[in-house]
Chain A
């Protein structure tokens, strides 16, 4: 009953269009105020202590690092490098688009910015070479979402934060340790590469079928020059993953180093950014981080309410009493997440859903790392699927195509992504192999 009240209240508040963070906070306040005896003073303290953890501070640093490198110049370098590598195959420029999107999305950390940056440079070029508009738009819209799986992924950091400190038990009652940022980053690499390759194959297959143009093969000299240009940006991924894995830094320190590194690259190596532009980048990064931190604070309040009302435990008990096995549960998780993807921002979905799903999942024997990757792939699909995927909207802006037209355009790639989602869901080794190999 309480569960129903809490969720209806949350949904009603959210539907007014108020910020998600405020809707979460108001739900908690009104529930605590009217239905419980929990002292409301503890809420104010939680607003400070909820984000008073060093692990959470990785988020603003990663956002800052991404903002330094979110520029047209970096996108051009990635596209040039990708074109010299794969341009000579069928649908060369399309394939280059997939590769460039994967690289740019990984370092910029924003799929929307990726669609805009890579899309607005590569789309006119594709149309000039004679690609149909639908094909070009489909490639960029879907590939822009690839960044969520590659380190440094803010979405994976958020999953780790949302579940950290939760005490959950496995199928036999043994305690399960939560997923660390390092494990999740490593776990995202293999699925991320697989999905990029699959999107590439889809592009290549359709390009061969309709005989889309190829580009002349680039020489190794040209490839080397293009690689040297792109190298400094891509090194960011190596610094983060290498630093965390080798134990030189904690994830938050790695994020701060990444931000300093990105600043040096953008201002002194690439020279895309003048020093006077730095305060503006800082301010934008601060505004974006504050928005996320504010949702996190209120999501912490919300999950405090969920825990004090024992809601995840009740759901876990209900699930097992219904005799739902792992297969049905994972199917349900996918459906709920894809449906939520229609209305909400990926970070907000993870913050609200992860603490609820996590205890149930571990009870059924799902590895926490696997759950994190599964949610990340869901968020990628959610960004591109109609009616309201965020990438669709952005792509509609730069291609001047309607949402319906774009929905038709993305189908081949979207189907590939959904197929891949099924594989990730039911074949855990795909996500768990690398972290198990390197971290145990």
Chain B
């Protein structure tokens, strides 16, 4: 139940961030054009869109971290599989598990480093102030140049995304141990072809991909 909710949240979040970032940059470009039109000029210069680029970057970085976690569950991450394909099934299985464990370890380390960074650069301050228990010598942390939000908020995607990704690696690893199945992503899928000819396509990078 909770897991299903998490799956949907992840899917909707990345789709929303992709669409919203496109819309924001489109509006910013449109604004620049309209600011050149004499009739609209006065009205346009009053709207400030200098934050658009920064917002777009933050949205895409968030998308990248959560999309990477989504990618683990759906097998989009490309790997090198020449060796794994050459090995006997039992040895290949060990290799795949080593690969998945590597992913889990890496994301766990990064998540922890990120969490510490976020904590020390403003979250600690924000939390203790919100709770009203702040000491006098807490570091407030920097704010971003255009949006002027505390930087720990956008940076929070590193611990959140990495821990989620770590969870996904463990989940995929567990599914692989119990069922022997790995998620498989079809990079050559094309909409609107009469028959889906691509289902049997096995690309070298897909079979043993984690």
Contact = CB atoms under 8 A, between A and B. Distances in A.
Given A40-B113, A286-B63, A297-B64, A116 B198 contact: yes
Interface in B22-78: 22, 25-26, 28-29, 53, 56-57, 60-61, 63-68, 70-71, 74, 76-78
Given A26-B106, A72-B192, A15 B83 contact: yes
B79 A17 contact: yes
A22 interface: yes
B19 A282 contact: yes
A72 B105 contact: no
Contact of A398 (B28, B83, B157, B198): B198
Contact of B197 (A13, A286, A342, A397): A397
A284 B159 CA distance: 23
A26 B107 CA distance: 9
Q: Lowest 5 A-B CB distances belong to which pairs?
A: A290-B67, A397-B201, A72-B192, A18-B99, A44-B113
A201 B107 CA distance: 50
A44 B57 contact: no
Given A52-B61, A60-B63, A343-B80, A116 B205 contact: no
A287 interface: yes
B163 to A, nearest CB: 13
A125 B188 CA distance: 21
A301 B71 CA distance: 20
19 contacts: A16-B83, A18-B98, A19-B79, A23-B102, A44-B158, A48-B61, A54-B57, A110-B187, A113-B190, A116-B188, A249-B29, A282-B18, A283-B15, A290-B64, A290-B68, A294-B68, A294-B77, A388-B204, A393-B203
Contacts of B109: 29
B201 A398 contact: yes
B204 A393 contact: yes
A294 B191 CA distance: 26
B210 A289 contact: no
A61 B25 contact: yes
A161 interface: no
B136 to A, nearest CB: 25
Contact of B18 (A15, A121, A289, A393): A289
Interface string B88-123: 000000011011101101110110011011000000
Given A41-B116, A45-B117, A256 B22 contact: yes
Contacts of B208: 17
Contacts of B202: 393, 397
A309 B21 CA distance: 37
Interface of B: 11, 14-19, 21-22, 25-26, 28-29, 53, 56-57, 60-61, 63-68, 70-71, 74, 76-84, 95-96, 98-100, 102-103, 105-107, 109-110, 113-114, 116-117, 154-155, 157-158, 162, 185, 187-194, 197-198, 200-205, 208-210
Interface string A258-291: 0110000000000011000111101101111111
Contacts of A23: 79-80, 102
Contacts of A110: 187-188
B70 A287 contact: yes
Contact of A289 (B11, B64, B117, B197): B64
B206 to A, nearest CB: 9
A47 B110 contact: yes
Nearest to B68: A294
Contacts of A397: 188, 197-198, 200-202
A14 interface: yes
A47 B80 contact: no
Contact of B105 (A20, A26, A252, A344): A26
Given A18-B100, A25-B106, A71-B190, A57 B60 contact: yes
Contact of B17 (A41, A260, A286, A345): A286
